[in-house]
Every structure is written in C-alpha cells, then in structure tokens.
Chains A and B, each alone.
Chain A
Amino acid sequence: MARITLKVNGKLRVVDTDSTTPLLYVLRNDLGLQGPKFGCGLSQCGACTVIMDGKTVRSCSVPVTAAQNREITTLEGLGSVAAPHRLQKAFIDEQAGQCGYCLNGMVMNAKVLLDKNPSPTSTEIKQALNGVLCRCASHLRIIRAIQRAVNADQSDLPIINYR
C-alpha cells in the first residue's frame, strides 16, 4: 500500500492504495467519482477518459502513481445537473445520448478539443472523437451537441474553481 496524493477537480485528495492500481479504480472506488467508466481496460473505447494537465488520458491504463502532482479533471469537475458546463448543457439540449455509458468519454474529449480549438469543423470533431466508441450510435447528435456548445454564448460558462 502507498499513500498517494492526487489533485482532482481542484481539490487535494489523499488515498491509501496499491501503487500499481490504475487511476480509474481510485477515482471510482476511493474518491466516489463515477463519471469515468470502465469499458475495456485496454485504452480502446474511451469510456474512462479524464483530463490530466490539459490532455485526455485513458484512466484505465494510467497507474495512479503517474497521476501524482498532476491536475486531474473528471466529468464531475466540469459541472452538475444543477450547474452544467456548456458542453453538458449542449448535449442535454441536443438529447445527445441513449444509454449514456460512452458520454463521459465524448464530453471529456470534446472539452479538450474546444480548449485547443474553440471552433472546430465537423471533420475536426470527428477526428477528435474517433477513438471513443458509442454502440447505441448517438454520433450525429454528439457532433451537433459539440457544434451547439461552440456556438453557445461564452458567458454561459459556469465558474469552476480551479485552485
């Protein structure tokens, strides 16, 4: 067991865990952050995506030790039902999802895309999300949702306290 300190959604969190544990299980089981999902454990589907230092990573394949001293953001860090991020709101407005299991990966990858490229073309959206699998096939709505978020009034952005 090792004592690990993580900075998640702006807060410092301390966990005692086997140091070989992938970040995903620590987020879900130790920190109660269930936005990131287990899909494959193989970095093939994207359901477990979180943002680490501004980049998307597959948390199923990142050892928790590699996440120390990094800024980690999960789906919960973007917003909530009460105060959704503009991307989350755009997905709701477009009803972009069915079972919703893939949506964490879609939103988190879209977030990093928009951070780097505030007005992507639909081709750029498709490229950015191509590694995230959706079996219910809500792809068209997801593309529309991201386009809607791009066009949303920037003042809609909820204030998130990153310290």
Chain B
Amino acid sequence: METRTISRREILKGTGALIVSFNFFGAIPQILAQSANPSTAGLPATSLDSWLAVAQDGNVTVFTSKVDLGTGTGTALGQIVAEELDVPISKITMDIGDTDKTVDQGRTSASRTLEKGGPQLRQAAAAARQELLKLASARLGAPVDHLTVNDGVVSVAGNLAKNVSYGALIGGRQFNARITATGDGWDINVAPEVHAKNPKDYKIVGTPVPRFDLPPKLTGEFMYAHEVRIPGMLHGRVVRPPVINSKPSSVDADSIKHIPGIVKVVQDGNFLGVVAQTEWAAIQAARSLKVIWSAPATKFPANPEEMYAYLKNTKSFVERTGAEKGNAASALAQAAKTFEATYRWPYQMHGMIGPSCAVADVRGDKATIWAGSQAPFITRKGVATLLGIPETNVHFIYRGASGCYGRLEPDDSPEDAALMSRAVGKPVRVQWMREDEHGWEPKGPPQLITVRAGVDAQGKITAWDYAERTLPWTDARLSPMLASRQTGIKPDEQGVFLGGGDGAAYNFENRKAVSSGIPWMMNPNPLRTCNLRAPYSSARCFATECHVDEIAAGLSVDPVEFRLRYLGDDSTRVIAVLLAATKKAGWQTRPSPLPASAGSVATGRGVAVSGMAGTVVAQVAEVEVDKSTGKVTVKRVTVAHDCGLIVNPDGLRNQIEGNVIQGVSRGLMEEVQYDSTGVKSLDWRSYPIITFADIPDVDMVLIDHPGMPSLGAGEASTIAVAAAIANAVFDAVGVRLHEVPFTPQRVLSALNGKGSSDRRV
C-alpha cells in the first residue's frame, strides 16, 4: 500500500476525488507531486485560500492544523464551516495537520480546539461566503443583500430560478482574497470584521452529525499513522536502556547477525535502534541485540512513598498562587474547628492502546514525517533541530493515531524514525513495542496536596488554605524529545508548570491556594512528565471536593446544600450544573455518611463539581463497597455539563461517556509502579485499566448556551470523577479515602482504621 498527499492544486481541480468521494480524512491514498509553499508558521493566515478551497463540483476542503485525536473535532469543525457557507455537511472534506497545507493554529491540546480553532474556521468560512456572494452578485446582476444561499447554491431572493452554484462561481480557482488575521497559533484572530451567522439561524451546528471517520475505522479502511507504507520503506525499532539515564557503553552488532534481513544498528549519541527489511526482523533484533549499558548515574525515589516524601521535602523552583482573599492563616488560628487532610495522586499513564508510531523519509537536507502528533509544527521543528536542517525542509503529514490524551503532544516516534531513516538513507517506519510505550511514555506527574480549613462556631467555613506540591506538568512538551535528549540536545528549561491553586469556585472569606513546582530530573528517563488528560485538575478537584465534603459531613449538612452556601452570583453556571446533576440522579437531601448497614455490601452516593477553562461540570457517583474485600464498584455516574455552545451533541455525549469511564479507571485502579532504576509497569497486567466488567452506567444532562462561545469538552468531565467516587465511598462506609487509586487493599485498610490518612507524609 502506498501513501500520498493530495496537493491543494489538485483539490481545486477536483482531482482529490478519492478523499472527497469517501468524505473522511485519511482515505487510502496514492502518490502525487506535492505543492509546497512552506514558512515556519505554515501558510499565511491572511490569505483566504490558506483556510479552504472550493472544487468545481462544489465540494469544500477545509485546511486545518487542529488535528482530530479521535475525539470527533474534525467533524465538529466541518460542521462549523458547512454552517457558515450553507453547504451540506456531505460536501465538506477535512484536510488535517499537513504543515505544507495549513496555517499553524497551534497545538491541539487542553480541549481548546472548538474554542480556539472553531472561531478561526468560522470566520474564514464567513469571509469565503462574503467573497462568493460578491461573485454571485456580479454574475446574477443582483445586490448582495438580495441573495440567499441554500446547499451551496446562491439564488436571487424571490426568483430562485436565477441562481449559480459555488462550484460554478469559483470551483477550481483560488479566491486570491486577503483577510485580516493577527496573532499566532491559538490566538490568531481571523477576519473579526466579517459578520458570521446568528446562532439562532444554525441548522448544522448543534445537530448530531455522524462522525466522518468512524465508518472507515470500522472496516479497516482508515489510514492511521500505523498504516502508512512508503515504497522502499524499512522497519525500525528503538532499543531503550533498561534503567534510567544509562548509556550504551558497548553494542555487539554481531549478536543479531543470525536474524535475516537486518539492515543496520543505528547508534547516535546514546540513541540506539535497529533497522531491518521486515517488521518481525526489527522486533527480534531489538530484543536480541547485546548491549552493555552503563550504570545509572541517578536514581528515582524507590517507590511512591519515597516519591511523596521527595515532593514534600524538596525545595520548589516555582510557586503559583491561585485566587487569594483575606488572611487564611489568622482565620485558621481563630477557627472554632479545623479540618486538615493530605491527598495524594500518583503517577499515571496515558496508556495509548496503539503505541507511538511514525514513518520518516529523510533525503539529504529534506525530510517527510507521517505521524499522529498533536502539534504538527512543533514536531516539525523538533525533527529539524535534531537533523540540523531548516524547519521548512521538514514536511509533517498528520495521520490519526491511537487516542492519546496528551501523550502525543510530545511525540517521540518521529524523531526515532528520522534518526534511523537518515542513518540508512531510506524511509523507516518505527513503532514502539508495548514495553517501550508503557516504560517510556512521559507520564502524568504525582501530586501531594494538603488542605487546612477552619470553620466558625456557626458552621461556616472561614478559612481555606490549600498547598500543593508537584512536578512540572510537562517537561516533555517544549523540551527536546527522547531521541534528541539521547543525542545530547539539552532542555533549556526545567519544564512547564501550569496554573496554580485549587480551581474551586467557592467563596470562602479567607482563602489561600499555593501550588509549588518541585524540580525533576531532565535526563532521558521513563518518569519524565507530560500533560495527562485534565493535567493537575483531577487531583486538585479530588483534594478540594473531598475536603469540602468532609467538612459538610463533620457539620452534619447535606453535601449539595453545603456547597450551595459557598456558590455566589458569580457562579450561576456552577449552581445550575450542580442542581441539574443532583436532580437527574434523584439526590436525597441528607448528610453523609449513611448509618452503618448490615451485610457485606454498602451503597452510597457522592457529588463533586469541577471547572476547566470555562466549562463547568457536576457529577454524582453511586457506588457499592464490598466491606469484606474492599472492592469499590461504581454503578452509575450522572453528569451535568455546560461547555457553552454545543456544536455536536452526540459527539459531546461520546466525550463525556469516555471521560467519565476513563476517570473511573484512573480513580479505582491506575498507579504506575517503579523502583529506583525504572518503571515496572511494562504491560497491561502491571498497569490494569478498566474493562467491560467494571463499566458504570453514565447518565447526563447537557446544558446548551447558543449565545456563548464553544468551550472545551475533551477533558472537563473526567476531573471530578475520583472526588465523587471518594465521597460516595464515604457515604457508604464512613471512611475517607485520601489517596488515588482506591484499590481494594487501600479501601480495606481504611475500613480497618489503617487508612491512607494515617500514612500521610
């Protein structure tokens, strides 16, 4: 099978028929010459032609560097363009993530695609519609304000027979129109002077358009990054050190001579890989290659217990303060009653089902990369730096990958493939093995959070002091990838620390929230960090929402009623989701916990609220706790979700179901195992995730705000899951869980009075 990209010129001619006819991205393509006009920021945002093209048959191709990570944003962005142009959704093709064909709209992350990329495409489409109406006005001899558009055909109002199609107006030609565009990446402000449609006239936005990509994904016809095949392509595998920060001191190439089809052992600095004619030969070679590795120069904390101690005792490199009000310290000192607890969130994995994979074709000072990176332009830059060639000599072509939840924002595999391709002078496909992915994916960092709250004699929270200690949320995103670091390219910073504070919406009279960034090792190591879905937020919510719950229980107040006391006029959307979720769940107003029950299984319910970049969510978890085994079973989670304007309600439901269930998995079972030299969770047995046996029901209420911008939905509903479960467990059995995950062993020790609260650092 071959792969090709279809050039912009061909799309205009309508020769992109293969993609267009199937109407999904990544159709199985063939090779044609590419037309490239690259700059470091991709195509110019000020040219209308950079954003979309209309073919002679009226099909519209949308060019965007906002990639679809399997969340359905490609379809949703297509809906936005179809809406503004008044063309049927079936006429839209998304051409995604090609650095030679798109404007650099920034990386695809933080659930900001519809919020940031949506308006960019909406305004570009509105500008295109304006141009098309101008052309139609001249053609039909009628003023623009007498024209209407229906399904891509412009007609004169009152005389529909007088009409012309978009295809006839511009098909096969460029607009050659300049539009206004200022700013970079996420913040490019496209054609703000152009009036887009009034949301009340929407016909496509707000409807459950089926996803373009699912039919081929169900039949084996979708072109994943893993499916890319180039003529003459060889197969590579990486050989990573067995322990951290270890170097290959001697490599015995003869040790794999007996394997047929070996092409080369590639060593570049401390990077090591093997290239072979076949994939199976490369796999065998990577396993069999005899390497003597140097002793590790550094060591990790030997286990999670030591890691939390490291977080507690190491001097921070950055401190971020969240919303501060009054004087929390003196209010605490004067409180009638205080509540203090320390919460722990462990190292967790993204756990892509399909491991990292890329194809690189390095020829002289030029390179082409096919991969599933979340940030095409950042990957391009990294590869260029590694190879020592100009950025614009690297052509990155996006192909969908496995769901990645942040992991492919720092996409390592393109650099592995580039080094191996350069070494053998041929295209090389690199796919990580399972132990490579589990072992070496950058992971979500651990967090240690202590909350001290004070309550006055009337039972009102008067003091709130939140102190968090954690590693950089990503040292991997902006810094060099693994292969670069192995070849000696040094990171120029400690890593990125995100936000600060507890993220809570509550109006406490005196509050302080400080997040401290603890420095972490920056050498190539398997516990390097990167943003994992809703980075930092799940732990912050776990600490805050469990602590509020603990206080409510301490004062014998219903948890919902208690929360409402601290939500003011500035939190109407939070109040609305809290009330909607609890109503849908049939919440019974009463304090937690329930009286101790007879029998071995207790049931309970818990609530938690969360916010992320403007999206607000409340959830109610209903659980069963087996008191004899400690096993927690989540029976149902009810979500109320407000992310502003809903573009595709079914896509949103799909995201929420996935977020909740993944959140249950992370809350109940996920923790990376490691010792002082490396990661021990190297497969799915040692890092179990949720399976069908443990899937809860998910109910939901969607709150739509057509007058608001669209806000993110890719992560917001995973944040409060662990908190809601912990609160439900407390409701059921009266013990607090302070450490994620809530494994049977941990729940059992809490039940036996040896809970995590007794093991606080």
Task: Find chain A residues with CB under 8 A from B701 CB.
Answer: none
Does B697 have its Cβ within 8 Å of any Cβ on chain A? yes
Does B138 have its Cβ within 8 Å of any Cβ on chain A? no
In Å, the complex CA distance between A130 and B219 comes to 21
Which A residues, 110 to 160, have Cβ-Cβ distances below 8 Å to chain B?
125-127, 129-141, 143
Does B661 have its Cβ within 8 Å of any Cβ on chain A? yes
Task: Find chain A residues with CB under 8 A from B697 CB.
Answer: 140
Q: How many residues of B contact A (CB 8 A)?
A: 65
Counting chain A residues whose Cβ lies within 8 A of the other chain, the interface size class is: 35 or more
Task: Find chain B residues with CB under 8 A from A39 CB.
Answer: 353-355, 434
Nearest-neighbor residue (CB-CB) of A30 within chain B: B278
In Å, the complex CA distance between A46 and B664 comes to 21
Does A66 have its Cβ within 8 Å of any Cβ on chain B? no
- Is A99's CB under 8 angstroms from B400's CB? yes
- Is B352's CB under 8 angstroms from A135's CB? yes
Does B22 have its Cβ within 8 Å of any Cβ on chain A? yes
A99 is contacted by which of B260, B403, B683, B691 (Cβ under 8 Å)?
A: B403
Which B residues contact A (CB, under 8 angstroms)? 1, 22, 69-72, 210-211, 213-222, 224, 226-227, 229, 260-261, 278-281, 283, 351-355, 400-405, 431, 433-434, 650-651, 654-655, 657-662, 665, 683-685, 689-693, 695, 697-698
Does A62 have its Cβ within 8 Å of any Cβ on chain B? no
Sample (15) of A-B pairs whose CB atoms are under 8 Å apart: A39-B354, A81-B221, A95-B650, A97-B214, A97-B217, A99-B401, A99-B404, A100-B217, A100-B222, A101-B403, A126-B693, A126-B695, A136-B658, A137-B659, A139-B692
In Å, the complex CA distance between A21 and B1 comes to 20
In Å, the complex CA distance between A69 and B706 comes to 60
Chain A min CB distance to B565 (Å) = 34
Contact with B along A29-50 (1 / 0, CB 8 A): 1001111111111101101000
Which A residues contact B (CB, under 8 angstroms)? 1, 17-18, 20-22, 25, 28-29, 32-42, 44-45, 47, 74-76, 78-81, 84, 88, 91-92, 95, 97-104, 107, 125-127, 129-141, 143
Nearest-neighbor residue (CB-CB) of B23 within chain A: A81
**Given contacts A37-B354, A81-B215, A104-B220, A136 and B70 within 8 Å (CB-CB):** yes
Nearest-neighbor residue (CB-CB) of B718 within chain A: A137
**Given contacts A42-B683, A42-B684, A140-B695, A81 and B403 within 8 Å (CB-CB):** no
In Å, the complex CA distance between A91 and B353 comes to 19
**Given contacts A42-B434, A44-B685, A140-B695, A95 and B654 within 8 Å (CB-CB):** yes
In Å, the complex CA distance between A107 and B220 comes to 11
Task: Find chain B residues with CB under 8 A from A76 CB.
Answer: 219-220
Interface of A is mostly: loop
Starting from the known contacts A76-B219, A140-B697, 4 additional A-B residue pairs (CB-CB under 8 Å) come to A34-B1, A37-B226, A39-B434, A127-B692
In Å, the complex CA distance between A134 and B217 comes to 14
Nearest-neighbor residue (CB-CB) of B697 within chain A: A140
- Is B693's CB under 8 angstroms from A135's CB? no
- Is B684's CB under 8 angstroms from A35's CB? no
Chain A min CB distance to B663 (Å) = 9
Chain B min CB distance to A68 (Å) = 17
- Is B685's CB under 8 angstroms from A92's CB? no
- Is B279's CB under 8 angstroms from A29's CB? yes
In Å, the complex CA distance between A29 and B352 comes to 22
Chain A min CB distance to B66 (Å) = 16
Nearest-neighbor residue (CB-CB) of A138 within chain B: B658
- Is A133's CB under 8 angstroms from B221's CB? no
Task: Find chain B residues with CB under 8 A from A32 CB.
Answer: 1
- Is A22's CB under 8 angstroms from B220's CB? no
- Is A88's CB under 8 angstroms from B218's CB? yes
- Is B658's CB under 8 angstroms from A38's CB? no
- Is A40's CB under 8 angstroms from B281's CB? no
In Å, the complex CA distance between A35 and B224 comes to 10
Task: Find chain A residues with CB under 8 A from B22 CB.
Answer: 81
In Å, the complex CA distance between A126 and B1 comes to 35
In Å, the complex CA distance between A98 and B1 comes to 25
Select the residue from A74, A134, A143 with max chain B CB neighbours within 10 A. Answer: A134
In Å, the complex CA distance between A140 and B226 comes to 26
- Is B71's CB under 8 angstroms from A25's CB? no
- Is A44's CB under 8 angstroms from B683's CB? yes
B654 is contacted by which of A47, A79, A98 (Cβ under 8 Å)?
A: A98
A135 is contacted by which of B351, B654, B695 (Cβ under 8 Å)?
A: B351
- Is A135's CB under 8 angstroms from B210's CB? no
In Å, the complex CA distance between A131 and B219 comes to 21
- Is A98's CB under 8 angstroms from B403's CB? yes
Select the residue from A1, A41, A143 with max chain B CB neighbours within 10 A. Answer: A41
